[in-house]
Amino acid sequence: MSGRLVYVVGPSGAGKDSVLARLRSALRPEDRVVIAHRYITRLPRDNSENHIALSEAEFLLRAQAGCFALHWQGHGLHYGVGVEIELWLAQGLTVLVNGSRAYLPEARRRFPQLRAVCITAAPETIAARLAGRGRETHDEIVERLRRNAGLADAPVDKLIANDGALGDAVSELSDWLSRSSAHC
């Protein structure tokens, strides 16, 4: 039995991490869904993604050694997903990965059966969330929104608008996972 890889993308500020964290807390063993941790060359922060922080040197060593099933660069950082996802897929699990829209074509090449989900929000919502984080200047937020528009046409299997209550987006993703697993 082979599992499913669900590659979750969307602009920064759309709430991907929040949706995945809430979904993770609601998962049951019988769901057979796991959410992969990412390896990132960024120190953990409060209210940020639950990731494994690596130095750039350690990340590059792991990449050269083949420890990542997927890896890319973005915003001056390195991101990776470990080869453990291949074991999980071989065990018939559904594996969710928080990915990059720019890397989606390469991820599809590596895993042709992958299903892509885009979690997004209106530009005003994203701008407000980014401003609330306090990590970027106004000009940096404007530039990020401009880049977002250029990646908006990535081909995905499911689009989820996360402008309202977080629970609504989580329910929509959970329902889609349940319905789509019945067709695999």
Structure tokens at 50: 């639950």
pLDDT value at residue 47: 58
Residue burial 35-65, b: 16+ Cβ < 10 Å; e: rest = bbbbbbbbeeeeeebebeebeeeebeebeee
pLDDT value at residue 153: 67
**CATH number of the domain that residue 76 is part of:** 3.40.50.300
* Pair 3, 94: CB distance under 8 Å: yes
pLDDT value at residue 133: 82
* Pair 102, 11: CB distance under 8 Å: no
Number of domains in the chain: 1
pLDDT digits (tens, 9 = 90+) for 28-50: 999 999 999 999 998 776 556 67
pTM over 0.85: yes
pLDDT value at residue 183: 46
Structure tokens at 174: 């959970």
pLDDT value at residue 2: 86
Q: Is 158 exposed, middle or buried (0-12, 13-18, 19+ CB in 10 A)?
A: middle
Note down the domain range covering 43: 4-182
pLDDT value at residue 49: 67
* Pair 144, 12: CB distance under 8 Å: yes
Per-residue pLDDT of the chain (184 residues; tens, 9 = 90+): 489 999 999 988 899 999 999 999 999 999 999 999 999 998 776 556 678 999 999 999 999 999 999 999 988 899 999 999 999 999 999 999 999 988 999 999 999 999 999 999 998 998 888 888 877 888 888 888 887 776 666 689 999 999 999 999 999 999 999 987 654 4
Q: How far apart are CA 65 and CA 177, in angstroms?
A: 33
Q: How far apart are CA 106 and CA 9, in angstroms?
A: 13
pLDDT value at residue 184: 44
